[in-house]
């Protein structure tokens, strides 16, 4: 058991601030606090300081490094405040599931300044079945709508002919966020247009995600090259205005 | 404690461990198959994409295997379970262990399995087991991207050139027999369905089939017909190629026991 004066030396909010200030090992321009990775710090019954953290993507290879960095930082703080004997551990909590919605405004700005487009729109996935709308590009009337549960419904008139698949809420959220004449819908139809000037050899995804702005020139006229990039959290996009490719944090 | 959670608590830990192992082995073996494409994919973006899919699946496998090991209570870690079990002890379905074949075969396998995982995890979010529900809530969002990738490639290959169409149709036919096993309820799953821990795989079939049929039709391909329906993966009876797969996957760990870097 710890002596009373050792217990008093443990300032939990200061430790949480310290843990939150730890830079992300893969994207060191943002901190764990910016990413919403630190859930909280508490004093366990056995006298140890326990930092609760959340994994981001299930297969994120930085998870162990993050936990180790957090333990090192918190232990250093305890030593400085004279509580060097206090054990430190991290606990991974998966629930509620991490979402890119937890990335702070400051974090989003830092990512953009670093050349990585932050996620846009709301992730808001309910975990329900995925709605799939399919249609031949340009046909307009040739598609059909598979609502969650697989019940076939005729595609309603006026819905664009592009195929889209993805979380129903993410689709509706991004559709609600943008006016019909937005850059991304123009981009989407250009993707489907066979005479588009620089068609990607890679099949363009038609998952209707909210437009992500070019971090170099600020244009919203960007297209997705691949949903998969250099890290599990990033997709690869290219700007039509300035031509540069850039990584973009996927909305999850 | 509610009736549901007390049933979950009293459901044998060994059974839940078995169930977690089934789902974890599915993810682990498919992850390994996808990783075989590294440096061999038809184009650079696909090399990155398939590696990303493999990494997501590996994350699912690590979580599930670690959970299974902790429930089993025999001190087996995720590494012990992945690298030291033999063929008859693996619980994955036969579909995920099928060889990659050409790119169309890999995409057909992804179409069938990612659609299945998408429906499975959506339902598993309601599991009375909090660990499984938590993993499902995370995995379902990531698997939506896997499903999108498979759908887009099926559309492009089916509705592509005569060659890509021929290969994609052949791939769908070749792997179709293995899809039946996805929806078989074995003793483990059946017993856990009552306590709300597991998803009854039979309930996933209608939505899965409607979705896959829709994609196949939009891709100008033909839905394969039911012929033979192999099974046995859940009982540890795998194909002849499985030993080779494990040989490659487990070699390093077995040759250098206790290695660290």
pLDDT for position B210: 96
Band the pLDDT of B1: cuts 50, 70, 90: low
Contact call for A143 and B151, based on CB within 8 A = no
Q: Kindly report which listed range (A86-100, B47-61, B151-165) carries the lowest average pLDDT score.
A: A86-100
pLDDT for position A100: 92
Mean confidence (pLDDT) of chain A = 72
Interface test with A, best of B44, B46, B133, B144 (most A CBs within 10 A): B144
Band the pLDDT of B71: cuts 50, 70, 90: very high
* Nearest chain A residue to B50, by CA: A228
B63 to chain A, any CB pair closer than 8 A? The answer is yes
The C-alpha atoms of residue A123 and residue A31 are separated, in whole angstroms, by 21
Q: The domain A4-98 belongs to what CATH superfamily?
A: Fe-S cluster assembly (FSCA) (3.30.300.130)
The C-alpha atoms of residue B89 and residue B236 are separated, in whole angstroms, by 5
The residue-averaged pLDDT of A213-228 equals: 92
Query: Is residue A53's pLDDT more than 50?
Result: yes
The C-alpha atoms of residue B97 and residue B26 are separated, in whole angstroms, by 8
Contact B197, B19 (CB under 8 A): yes
Q: What is the secondary structure of A102-160 as a DSSP string?
A: GS-HHHHHHHHHTTEEPP-S-----S-PPEEEE--TTTSSS-EEE-TTS-EEEPPTTS-
pLDDT for position B27: 98
* Nearest chain B residue to A235, by CA: B49
Residues 222-251 of A with CB under 8 A from B: 225-230, 232, 236, 250
Contact call for A202 and B208, based on CB within 8 A = no
Residues of chain A found within 8 Å of residue B133, distances taken between Cβ atoms: 95
Tokens representing A14 are: 């200061």
Nearest chain A CA: its distance from B220 CA (Å): 10
* Nearest chain B residue to A226, by CA: B45
Nearest chain A CA: its distance from B215 CA (Å): 8
| Helix pair B205-218, B103-124: axis angle to 10 deg | 140
Q: Where are the domains of chain B?
A: 12-222+232-255
Band the pLDDT of A61: cuts 50, 70, 90: confident
B148 to chain A, any CB pair closer than 8 A? The answer is yes
pLDDT, tens digit, 9 for 90 and up, residues B199-251 = 999 999 999 999 999 999 999 999 999 999 999 999 999 999 999 999 999 99
Given A98, A132, A201, which is nearest B211 (Cβ)? A132
Residues of chain A found within 8 Å of residue B55, distances taken between Cβ atoms: 59, 61, 232
Q: Kindly report which listed range (A79-88, A168-177, B36-45) carries the lowest average pLDDT score.
A: A168-177
Query: Is residue A193's pLDDT more than 50?
Result: no
B52 to chain A, any CB pair closer than 8 A? The answer is yes
pLDDT for position A230: 86
pLDDT for position A155: 34
The C-alpha atoms of residue B234 and residue B92 are separated, in whole angstroms, by 6
Contact call for B59 and A60, based on CB within 8 A = yes
| Dihedral angle over CA of A7, A9, A13, A19, nearest 10 | -100
B59 to chain A, any CB pair closer than 8 A? The answer is yes
Percent share of chain A, pLDDT over 70: 61
Query: Is residue B11's pLDDT more than 70?
Result: no
Residues of chain A found within 8 Å of residue B152, distances taken between Cβ atoms: 203-206
Band the pLDDT of A124: cuts 50, 70, 90: low
B56 to chain A, any CB pair closer than 8 A? The answer is yes
Band the pLDDT of A195: cuts 50, 70, 90: very low
A129 to chain B, any CB pair closer than 8 A? The answer is yes
Query: Is residue A48's pLDDT more than 90?
Result: yes
B149 to chain A, any CB pair closer than 8 A? The answer is yes
pLDDT for position B12: 86
pLDDT, tens digit, 9 for 90 and up, residues A178-187 = 333 333 333 3
The closest of A13, A39, A14, A34 to A24, measured between CA atoms, is: A34
Q: The domain B12-222+232-255 belongs to what CATH superfamily?
A: Ferritin, core subunit, four-helix bundle (1.20.1260.10)
Residues 86-105 of A with CB under 8 A from B: 94-99
Contact call for A97 and B141, based on CB within 8 A = yes
Please, which residues bridge with residue A90 across strands? A51
The C-alpha atoms of residue A235 and residue A224 are separated, in whole angstroms, by 8
Residues of chain A found within 8 Å of residue B134, distances taken between Cβ atoms: 94-95, 97
The residue-averaged pLDDT of B157-175 equals: 98
Query: Is residue A141's pLDDT more than 90?
Result: no
Band the pLDDT of B95: cuts 50, 70, 90: very high
Given A59, A152, A203, which is nearest B156 (Cβ)? A203
Contact call for A148 and B45, based on CB within 8 A = no
Size of interface A-B (CB pairs under 8 A): 143
Residue with the bigger pLDDT between A26 and B27: it is B27
3-state SS class at A164? strand
Q: Kindly report which listed range (A46-60, A202-216, B92-106) carries the lowest average pLDDT score.
A: A202-216
* Nearest chain A residue to B134, by CA: A95
Q: Are strands A131-134 and A144-146 parallel, antiparallel or unpaired?
A: antiparallel
């Amino acid at each position: 058991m710890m002596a009373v004066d050792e217990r008093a030396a443990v300032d939990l909010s200061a430790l949480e601030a310290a843990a939150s200030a730890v830079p992300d090992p893969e994207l060191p321009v943002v901190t764990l606090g910016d990413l919403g990775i630190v859930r909280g710090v508490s004093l366990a019954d056995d006298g140890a300081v326990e930092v609760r953290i959340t994994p981001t993507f299930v297969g994120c290879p930085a998870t162990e490094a993050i936990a180790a960095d957090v333990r090192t930082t918190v232990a250093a703080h305890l030593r400085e405040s004279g509580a060097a004997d206090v054990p430190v551990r991290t606990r991974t909590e998966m629930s509620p599931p991490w979402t890119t919605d937890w990335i702070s405004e400051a974090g989003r700005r830092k990512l953009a300044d670093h050349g990585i487009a932050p996620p846009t729109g709301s992730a808001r996935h309910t975990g329900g079945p995925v709605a799939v709308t399919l249609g031949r590009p340009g046909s307009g009337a040739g598609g059909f709508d598979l609502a969650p549960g697989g019940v076939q419904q005729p595609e309603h008139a006026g819905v664009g002919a592009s195929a889209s698949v993805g979380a129903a809420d993410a689709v509706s959220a991004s559709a609600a966020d943008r006016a019909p004449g937005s850059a991304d819908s123009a981009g989407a139809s250009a993707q489907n247009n066979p005479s588009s000037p620089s068609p990607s050899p890679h099949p363009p995804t038609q998952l209707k995600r909210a437009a992500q702005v070019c971090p170099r020139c600020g244009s919203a006229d960007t297209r997705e090259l691949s949903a998969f990039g250099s890290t599990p959290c990033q997709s690869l996009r290219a700007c039509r205005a300035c031509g540069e490719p850039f990584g973009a944090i996927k909305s999850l | 404690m509610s009736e549901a959670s007390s049933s979950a608590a009293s459901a044998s830990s060994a059974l839940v461990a078995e169930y977690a192992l089934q789902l974890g082995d599915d993810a682990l073996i498919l992850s390994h198959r996808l990783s075989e494409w590294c440096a061999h994919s038809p184009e650079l973006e696909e090399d990155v994409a398939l590696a990303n899919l493999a990494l997501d699946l590996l994350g699912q496998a690590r979580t599930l295997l670690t959970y299974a090991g902790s429930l089993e209570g025999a001190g087996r870690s995720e590494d012990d379970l992945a690298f030291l079990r033999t063929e008859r002890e693996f619980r994955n379905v036969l579909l995920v262990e099928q060889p990659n074949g050409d790119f169309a075969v890999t995409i057909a396998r992804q179409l069938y399995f990612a659609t299945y995982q998408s429906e499975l995890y959506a339902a598993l979010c309601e599991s009375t087991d909090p660990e499984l529900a938590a993993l499902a809530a995370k995995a379902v969002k990531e698997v939506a991207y896997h499903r999108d990738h498979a759908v887009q490639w099926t559309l492009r290959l089916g509705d592509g050139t005569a060659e890509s169409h021929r290969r994609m149709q052949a791939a769908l036919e070749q792997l179709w027999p293995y899809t039946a096993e996805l929806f078989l309820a074995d003793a483990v799953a059946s017993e856990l369905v009552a306590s709300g821990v597991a998803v009854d795989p039979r309930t996933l079939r209608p939505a899965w089939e409607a979705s896959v049929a829709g994609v196949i039709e939009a891709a100008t391909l033909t839905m394969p017909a039911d012929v033979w329906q192999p099974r046995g993966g859940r009982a540890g009876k795998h194909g002849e190629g499985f030993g080779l797969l494990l040989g490659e996957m487990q070699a390093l760990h077995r040759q250098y026991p206790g290695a660290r870097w």
